[in-house]
Amino acid sequence: MDLTHFDENGNARMVDVTAKTETERMAAAAGKIKVSPDVLMAVKERRVAKGDVLTVATTAGIAGTKKTWELIPMCHIVPLTGCTIEWNFKEESCEIECRCTARCTGKTGVEMEALTGVSVALLTVYDMCKAIDKTMEIGEIRLLEKNGGKSGHFVRKD
Amino acid sequence: MDLTHFDENGNARMVDVTAKTETERMAAAAGKIKVSPDVLMAVKERRVAKGDVLTVATTAGIAGTKKTWELIPMCHIVPLTGCTIEWNFKEESCEIECRCTARCTGKTGVEMEALTGVSVALLTVYDMCKAIDKTMEIGEIRLLEKNGGKSGHFVRKD
Amino acid sequence: MDLTHFDENGNARMVDVTAKTETERMAAAAGKIKVSPDVLMAVKERRVAKGDVLTVATTAGIAGTKKTWELIPMCHIVPLTGCTIEWNFKEESCEIECRCTARCTGKTGVEMEALTGVSVALLTVYDMCKAIDKTMEIGEIRLLEKNGGKSGHFVRKD
Amino acid sequence: MDLTHFDENGNARMVDVTAKTETERMAAAAGKIKVSPDVLMAVKERRVAKGDVLTVATTAGIAGTKKTWELIPMCHIVPLTGCTIEWNFKEESCEIECRCTARCTGKTGVEMEALTGVSVALLTVYDMCKAIDKTMEIGEIRLLEKNGGKSGHFVRKD
Amino acid sequence: MDLTHFDENGNARMVDVTAKTETERMAAAAGKIKVSPDVLMAVKERRVAKGDVLTVATTAGIAGTKKTWELIPMCHIVPLTGCTIEWNFKEESCEIECRCTARCTGKTGVEMEALTGVSVALLTVYDMCKAIDKTMEIGEIRLLEKNGGKSGHFVRKD
Amino acid sequence: MDLTHFDENGNARMVDVTAKTETERMAAAAGKIKVSPDVLMAVKERRVAKGDVLTVATTAGIAGTKKTWELIPMCHIVPLTGCTIEWNFKEESCEIECRCTARCTGKTGVEMEALTGVSVALLTVYDMCKAIDKTMEIGEIRLLEKNGGKSGHFVRKD
């Protein structure tokens, strides 16, 4: 089993997708941040007041999906045709879940864009809450679903 | 307990650190990616051959720390004075651990730089191995240690 | 009347244009900078000599149109197929007018690109002349014309 | 009267500030966007609900100040030590005013950062409201105040 | 003979390619860096060990091709569909040759992307070896081949 | 003789300069582009008319120096305090020479900034003239002088 991002001489490369067909593609990824009860309360209160932590983090996450190709060296520039970020509070476990869905019409998938969007959004939550809690932990960043390429429809089971 | 990134009217802001003293600062963060045995083997083989996955990911992670202020809206531009990324294979649990240490002489801490470096490096590993395994999961991204600011020396316990 | 950049739960989003047709699109925007007679004279003299203020500003403005998606969080990455910037001196009112025309073949309009090009070009004029005059004022930044989308041909009246 | 951004041979240049002293500097700029009553109402409603237009625009504006040196060719990279953006509704004239204050400890002023922050924030309001109204106009972008350099304290009169 | 990047009034512009047809395009460029024997040996040794200079430089070069439109003001944003960088040691003359091939499906050629990739990759080699040798020299950066546009197939003779 | 950009385990790293003293630093680099007589004439004519090729290239080169840390993975972010680009026509050999001088007050040298400025400026000349001549060649990119660090004053001999 071989890594497609290297040629036979071991040179890293951007995979050639010139000959591939443009199709409508979608990818959704998720992740979460584990926070202290103080942070959870502060973010939730902000959610219903002016100066919303999650609006800043959503803005950063969407902007981040557009910078995926700048961050991940072998990623193609993919002009996304749509991007959403959604949030979910899990109060019992003190976690804030983030889900990012990216879409394009192109020759290559957008799972890296969705994963980057989740990562940047969660890092932004961390940044805005770190004065309260330095022990927050970001985790479970994973691909949920992917559609539109020749590898078919992927849906994560669990 | 209040969020410092908002003023009294709820406007998001970059916190004013003008009056703070420049000190030598350090932050270390870590995270990991859970992969399939095939991926672990492919990455480990690359480690000793030409075309090293982890050299590409290290390069991306270090470049990523320098883009932290572009990704996280309220972060200050911090000219880092040093940055390292280290890797550790955990073969039993099929995990690749990443640790990023960032340094600066400045008025504000560099924990976001260290956390961003870890995130980008792990996303790059994901990108280069995703043709083999789509179920990899990135997690346990957390601050390990922080030093040099007025809040003193933080070391994560666990 | 509702804002398309938010979903029903109030989450900001990049509008999904995946299903839209690619068409040839054009947008033109304009604005101006009000300057002192000294600045007007210095810029006009530069126009006919080496070291042209307006060539630097044109270069910055065209480069700026390509960064629109980086600056405006919900804008799509639009690979422009053409961009021009033109200048006009209004000597009686001591104003320098700037007009930017952007073109693409794509699924979404390029009015933000044209408006951003005008803004960046005028800010560059400000920067290069601010040693002479700090009271310059940038204004009347507006869309002049827009074509190619399903909303038809817009031409500003005034 | 001469333009400092060109040498004696007409070559554009970044002005040499190496020998200048680092001082605490501040600049404040303002501007406004003229909108339709529908837009004013939609933005005001968003201000008190989830999904705030002005939080997105504030986020974009603060991020924009950090990109000033990328947009304006002869600007120095200035690591800002603080940045705020404030908004004011003028209901009678259907205008939304924006004020950006930037701070640094450095060798050169931050007026371009404040002016760029205002411009990007107002362009973001335009982008998010343009589905309702294409005739919005951005104007009166000007320096309000500047402090900390050898040219002394500038305060705009009007 | 006229320069297409200026209009009849002397304004710099991004050339309008809206009406051109999308075709598969390729460009290859090359260049080299002349180094000291110590550097040549150090780089060659790294090639077969961990921490490969040329993997870092390849990563930087591929990332650099994606930034061509940011660096070269009149270049269009071209979403590349593929990019490779290859290296060749010329031991007698103490030179390391670099070749970059860029591909896209688009309306304009990618020779600037290939030339930028070579330049950034060689500058990265310089950076990583400059502690050993400050007299290295980068040269012979040139287009080798270009295909896919209406100007036909160009192959450099020499 | 060892490469400072790798640690003892072969991990690439940004060299730690935290403990170094801030000093005034300067670096000058040069390079040239070999062009056809047609291009030389077109550029020279532009030099004295509106729409100057070399003003666009100077603008791009200065902007490029500020992006050095984005392009070269292990480079530190260095806020330059000054940057100039100068040009020289060598008519007999049909060459256009470019010289870039970069300055900072910092802990690390700016030779990569000067070399990157030359490279980007020359690539921009290539871009603007390539419709006339595809065989232009960029070469002799080298450090001329470097001052201000603990390694003393370097001046290239030849």
* Alpha-carbon span B28 to B112, nearest angstrom: 10
Cβ pair D13:F85 closer than 8 A: yes
* CB-CB neighbors (< 8 A) of B52 in chain E: 50-52, 55
| pLDDT tens-digit readout, C64-81 | 999 999 999 999 999 999
Structure tokens at E147: 């295909």
Nearest Cα of chain F lies from the Cα of C58 at a distance, in angstroms, of 9
| pLDDT greater at residue D150 or residue D134 | D134
E70 touches chain A (CB under 8 A): no
Determine whether the interchain pair D120/C71 forms a contact, defined as Cβ–Cβ distance below 8 Å. yes
B10 touching A, CB under 8 A?
yes
Tokens representing residue D70 in the block? 């990328």
How much is the pLDDT for A74? Answer: 92
Other C-beta atoms lying within 10 Å of the C-beta of residue A150: 8
**Count of C-F CB contacts under 8 Å:** 26
Confidence of residue A112 (pLDDT cuts 50, 70, 90): very high
The H or E element containing residue B137 is strand B137-147
B38–chain A Cβ distance below 8 A for any pair? yes
For D135, counting Cβ atoms within 10 Å of its Cβ (0-12 exposed, 13-18 middle, 19+ buried), the class is middle
C89 touches chain F (CB under 8 A): no
Q: How confident is the model at residue A39 (pLDDT cuts 50, 70, 90)?
A: confident
Average pLDDT value for residue range D55-83: 94
Cα separation, D44 vs D46, whole angstroms? 5
Share of chain B above pLDDT 70, in %: 95
CA distance D25 to D145: 11
**Bridge pairing between strands B137-147 and B23-34:** antiparallel
Q: What is the average pLDDT across A75-89?
A: 92
Q: Give the pLDDT score at D28.
A: 87
| Best of F67, F70, F81 to mutate (most D CBs within 10 Å, chain D) | F81
Q: Nearest Cα to D121, choosing from C110, A128, C71, C27?
A: C71
pLDDT at A45 over 80: no
On the question of pLDDT at A48 being above 70, the answer is no
What pLDDT, on the 0 to 100 scale, is given for residue B140? 94
Q: What mean pLDDT value characterizes chain B?
A: 88
CA distance C60 to chain F (A): 8
Predicted local confidence at residue F83, as pLDDT? 93
Question: What separation in angstroms does the CA of B139 have from each of A31, B23, B123, D99, F64?
Answer: 9, 31, 11, 40, 36
- pLDDT of C146 over the 70 cut: yes
Q: Which of B97, B110, B86, B85 is nearest to B40 (CA)?
A: B97
Q: Do C62 and E15 touch (CB under 8 A)?
A: no
Give pLDDT, residue D51.
54
Cα(E5)–Cα(E14) distance, rounded to whole angstroms? 6
Q: Is pLDDT of D50 > 90? A: no
- Taking CA–CA distances from D62, the nearest residue in chain A reads A56
Residue C142 near residue C29 (C-beta atoms within 8 A): yes
For residues A22-48, average pLDDT: 82
Question: According to the model, what pLDDT value does residue C5 have?
Answer: 78
Residue ranges, chain F, pLDDT below 50 = 1, 50
Predicted ipTM?
0.92
Q: From first to last of its 158 residues, what are the pLDDT tens digits of chain E?
A: 467 777 777 778 888 888 888 898 988 888 888 888 888 888 887 665 545 888 899 999 999 999 999 999 999 999 999 999 998 888 888 899 999 999 999 899 999 999 999 999 999 999 988 888 889 999 999 999 998 877 788 999 87
Crossing angle of the two packed helices B111-129 and A111-129, in degrees rounded to 10: 160
End-to-end C-alpha distance for chain A, whole angstroms? 26
User: Rounded to an integer, what distance in angstroms lies between the CA atom of residue B12 and that of residue A154?
Assistant: 38
Contact status of F47 with chain C (Cβ, < 8 Å): yes
Residue C139 bridge partners (DSSP): C32
Using DSSP, state whether F16 is helix, strand or coil: coil
Distance CA(C9)–CA(A84), nearest Å, equals 12
Nearest CA-CA distance, residue A53 and chain D, Å: 9
The verdict on F71 touching D (C-beta cutoff 8 Å) is no
pTM above 0.95, yes or no: no
- Of B7, B52, B127, B133, the catalytic one is B127
Query: Which of A48, A58, A59, A84 would best serve as a mutation to test chain D binding (most D beta carbons within 10 A)?
Result: A59
Query: What phi and psi values does residue B157 have, to the nearest 5 degrees?
Result: -100, 110
Cβ–Cβ contact F66 with B under 8 A: no
What average pLDDT does this structure show over C7-19?
A: 81
One-letter amino acid of D24? E
Partner A contacted by E36 (CB < 8 A): no
Given a contact cutoff of 8 angstroms between Cβ atoms, the answer to whether B68 and B136 are in contact is: no
Confidence of residue B49 (pLDDT cuts 50, 70, 90): low
What does the DSSP assignment read for E62-120? HHHHTTHHHHSTTPPP---SEEEEEEEEETTTTEEEEEEEEEEEESS--HHHHHHHHHH
Stretch D51-56: mean pLDDT, rounded?
81
Of D12, D76, D107, the CB nearest to F59: D12
Residues of F in contact with B81 (CB under 8 A): 16-18, 20, 76, 107
Answer yes or no: do F18 and B103 touch at CB < 8 A. Answer: yes
Which residue in the set F7, F18, F73 is minimally distant from B63, CB to CB?
A: F73
Minimum CA–CA partner of E13 in chain C: C84
| Interchain proximity F62–D107, CB inside 8 Å | no
Secondary structure class of A116 (helix, strand, coil):
helix
> Which pLDDT belongs to residue D126?
93
Higher pLDDT, C149 or B78: B78
Residue B126 pLDDT > 60: yes
Q: How far apart are CA D49 and CA A50, in angstroms?
A: 8
Instruction: List, in order, residues 6 or more apart from C8 with CB less than 8 Å away.
Output: none
**Residue A30 identity:** A
**Does the pLDDT value for residue D33 go beyond 70?**
yes
Chain D touched by C12 (CB under 8 Å): yes
Q: Which class for E131: exposed (0-12), middle (13-18), buried (19 or more C-beta within 10 A)? A: middle
Contact B82, F74 (CB under 8 A): no
Residue with tokens 């100007």: E151
Query: Per the CB < 8 Å rule, is E47 touching B51?
Result: no
Q: Which of E2, E7, E16, E127 is catalytic?
A: E127
Environment class of B92 (CB within 10 Å of its CB; exposed 0-12, middle 13-18, buried 19+): exposed
Catalytic residue flag (residue E2): no
CB contact under 8 A, E127 and F74: yes
- Provide the 10 A C-beta neighbour count for residue C15: 17
Please indicate whether, in this complex, the C-beta atoms of B4 and A46 are within 8 angstroms of each other: no
Q: What is the model's pLDDT at position C100?
A: 94
Name residue A98's beta-bridge partners: A31, A87
With an 8 Å Cβ cutoff, is B147 touching chain A? no
What proportion of chain D, given as a percentage, has pLDDT over 90?
A: 46
Instruction: Mention every residue, 6+ apart, whose C-beta is less than 8 A from residue A17.
Output: A76, A107, A108, E81, E82
Closest partner CB to A56 (pick from D48, D50, D59)? D59
A154 CA to chain E: closest CA distance, Å?
Answer: 23
- What percent of chain A has a predicted confidence (pLDDT) above 90? 47
For residues B78 and E114, what is the distance between their CA atoms, to the nearest angstrom? Answer: 32
Bridge partners, A105 (sequence order): A24
Closest Cα to residue C122, out of C149, C105, C140, C103?
Answer: C140
- The catalytic position among A2, A38, A127, A133 is A127
Instruction: List chain D residues with CB under 8 Å of F87.
Output: 11
Predicted pLDDT at C2: 64
> Identity (one letter) of the amino acid at A39?
V
Tell me the mean pLDDT in the region B94-104: 92
Q: Which amino acid is at B12?
A: A
Q: Does the beta-carbon distance from A50 to D50 stay under 8 Å?
A: no
Q: What is the pLDDT of residue F79?
A: 92
Q: What is residue B60's predicted lDDT score, i.e. its pLDDT?
A: 96
Which among F62, F63, F105 has CB closest to D18? F105
Tokens 């040099």 found at: B148
Residue in C53, B69, F82, C24 with CA at minimum distance from that of residue D16: F82
| DSSP code at position C120 | H
Judged by a CB distance cut-off of 8 A, whether residue C143 touches chain D is: yes
